[in-house]
A and B are shown apart, each in its own frame.
Chain A
Amino acid sequence: MRFKFRMNRRAVLFSLISVLFSVLFITIFSQEFTSTYEDRIPGSNIRIKVMDVYTRNFEVYIGDSVKVATYHTLDGITIYQHNNGRMFFKDFSEFNKTFRDCMTCGYVNCSNQIPSKSCNVGDYSLKSRLDNITALSLQQLNIQTNYTLNSIDIRQDYPFEVEVTVNISYNVTDDSGANYYARWTKNSIITQEVPIVGLLEPTGYINDSTNTYRQRIARYSGVCEFDESCWTNTTTQQFYSQNNFRYYSGGVSFLQRYWNDNSVSDCCGIETIMHPTQLSNPDRTNSYIDHYYWSGSYSCAAGNKIVSLKFGSDNVSLDENTASRYGVTNQSTVYCTPP
Chain B
Amino acid sequence: MRKSNKKGYYFIIDAFIGSTIIFLSLLIILNGGIKPSKIQYNYEMAEEYSTFILNTKIQDLNNEYVNSLTTSHAINDTTLTIMEQVDLFYYNNDTSHAKFMIQNLTDPLIAQKYSFSYDVIDGAKTVNIYNRTNINTSDAKLVVASKKITFLQINSSTLFGPVMTEIKIWI
Chain A interface residues (CB < 8 Å from chain B): 3, 7, 10-11, 14-15, 17-19, 21-22, 25-26, 29, 32-33, 36-37, 40-42, 46, 49-50, 53-54, 57, 61, 64-65, 67-68, 71-72, 124, 129, 132-133, 136-137, 140-141, 194-195, 197-198
Contacts and interface: CB of A to CB of B under 8 A. Distances in A.
Nearest to B123: A136
B55 to A, nearest CB: 9
B33 A22 contact: no
Nearest to B33: A36
B45 to A, nearest CB: 11
14 contacts: A22-B22, A25-B29, A33-B33, A36-B32, A40-B36, A42-B43, A49-B47, A50-B146, A53-B51, A57-B148, A68-B156, A68-B158, A71-B156, A141-B149
Given A19-B21, A67-B153, A141-B147, 20 more contacts: A3-B3, A7-B7, A10-B11, A11-B13, A11-B14, A18-B22, A22-B22, A33-B33, A36-B33, A42-B43, A46-B44, A50-B146, A50-B147, A54-B149, A64-B153, A68-B159, A71-B157, A124-B159, A195-B156, A198-B156
Interface of B: 3, 6-7, 10-11, 13-15, 17-19, 21-22, 25-26, 29, 32-33, 36-37, 39-40, 43-44, 47, 51, 54, 121, 146-151, 153, 156-159, 162-164
A140 B147 contact: yes
Interface of B is mostly: helix
Interface of A is mostly: helix
Given A25-B25, A26-B25, A18 B156 contact: no
A11 B10 contact: yes
Contacts, number: 111
A276 to B, nearest CB: 29
Contacts of A36: 32-33
Contact of B39 (A33, A42, A140, A197): A42
Given A15-B18, A25-B22, A7 B10 contact: yes
Contacts of A53: 51, 54, 148
Nearest to B46: A46
Contacts of A132: 162
A131 B41 CA distance: 34
